[in-house]
Every structure is written in C-alpha cells, then in structure tokens.
Amino acid sequence: MANLVIDIGNSYTKAAVFNNNELLKIEHYKTIDIPQLSGLTDGYTINQTIISSVKKEKDSWEEELKANMPLVYFTREMATQITNHYRTPQTLGIDRLAAVMGAHCLYPDKDNLVIDAGTCITYDYVDAGGNYYGGSISPGLQMRFKAMHNYTAALPLVNADSNFGQMFGADTESAILSGVQNGLKYELTGFIENYRNGKPQLNILLTGGDGIFFDTLLKNSIFAPYIKNEPYLVLQGLNAAIQQHND
C-alpha cells in the first residue's frame, strides 16, 4: 500500500509515491492531468492521497481524482508534530508549514533552518522541540532578474550563471549577475549566521527548485559543512501528515 503526495506550487506541480517514509517515485509537471498521474502510480496500490496547493481554485483533475480514491487536502491543523506560534496562522502558507514539518520529521530533536528557494525564498526555523515562530519571505532568484528587466527601461533580462564568481561586474550584464547572485549569497549567509548564533549544530536544509543553485553559491562559505540538500522536503512533510492523519 502506498501514498500519493501532490504539491501544487506557483510554477510546477510535484507528485510522489511513498511507501511509509520511503520515497519510491517522483515526477515534476508544468501542467498535470489524470493520465500523467496514472503513469506515475502505475504498478502501485494507492491507499491514500494528499494534496497541498498554493492555488485558491481547484482544477478539474482534482475532482476526478477525488472521485476515484480517498483524498484529503493538507491543512494547518494536520501539522500535529509542530507547535505553531505564528501570530496569524491562517495566513501562513501551507507549503512553508509542510516544509517545516518535513524538516522536523527527518531530523527530530534538531534545530532546523529551512531555506526554500522557489518563486520566492522563504526562511523558516523550527527548534528541536517542534516549535515554529515564523520566518522570512524574500524575492526569488528568477524574480529578481525579471523585476529589474520589467521595471526599468534599459536593463536586459539576464539568466542566472552558476559559474559567475566575480566580485563585481565589468559590464551591464555582469553587473546584474553580481547584484543578484552576490546579493543573494550575502542574504543567505546573513540569515544563516543569525540563526546559528548560539546554535552551532543547526541543520541548514536547502529545498525548492533553486536549492542546488543556492548550494553552489554557498559551497565555499564557512556554512557549507552544515548544509543539507533536501529537494523533496515539502513532499516528505505532506507524507508525514497523511500518515498521522490516518493513525
């Protein structure tokens, strides 16, 4: 028996099959439908399905899926392993909460800083006791490049370059690369340094679509030995939630 776990984000949908805590198969979709999900789950007996979505409206395939198998939507109340101290819990993005829950389930009794590098960058800290107080939201990597292009008359749209390592730019394109990528590196190291103050064993978990790129930015930093890449942290949190929901 297996779980189907679906995370609908701003840009992509991730879907995975779990057997208990073991990730068996995963796919990424720009658009998704029932035949694609059937291909993902072929060969597995799905016992239960959970969906987390940043969208307010449901797509037709969700209703079709619900008609054919047990399905629940992830809610804040399902994050039972986390004590949520957020002042306005109803406004907390459920993807952020799922990532925090995934971190706490993977690394129990550890202090965890989750850096989710997606459309936006979120920084969320959960302590060893499962207490969550809040975090930070910042523009994502691609958003920064696009914003400078869209909100100015002359700046070109530049793509991220993992090989760029200069301290400053010698022309407009490299100056944009320096501003965005070095700026992000300074932002990341600043947040990490503040959270590690008094917590030298803090886990730093990178997740999200640009997680590997962020790891590259930090590879020569003093924090590199403490960084773990966990690209499926939200999915793992959702899987933990559905298992507890049915216990």
Residues 83-118 have pLDDT tens digits of 999 999 999 999 999 999 999 999 999 999 999 999
Rounded to 5 degrees, what are φ and ψ at 148? -65, -35
CB neighbours of residue 220 within 10 Å: 9
152 sits in which H/E element: none
The helix-helix angle for 233-245 and 94-106 (nearest 10°) equals 80
pLDDT attached to residue 198: 86
Work out the widest C-alpha separation in the chain, in whole angstroms: 60
pLDDT attached to residue 247: 63
pLDDT attached to residue 200: 82
- Domains of the chain: residue spans and CATH: 2-73 (3.30.420.40), 83-235 (3.30.420.40)
Q: Is 13 annotated as a binding residue?
A: yes
Catalytic residue ranges: 95
Q: What is the pLDDT of residues 121-178, one digit of tens each?
A: 999 999 999 999 999 999 999 999 999 999 999 999 999 999 999 999 999 999 999 9
Q: Is 12 annotated as a binding residue?
A: yes
pLDDT attached to residue 201: 85
Q: Is 7 annotated as a binding residue?
A: yes
User: With contact defined as beta carbons under 8 Å apart, do 74 and 98 qualify?
Assistant: yes
pLDDT attached to residue 9: 84
Per DSSP, 156 falls in state P
Computed over every residue of the chain, the mean pLDDT equals: 93
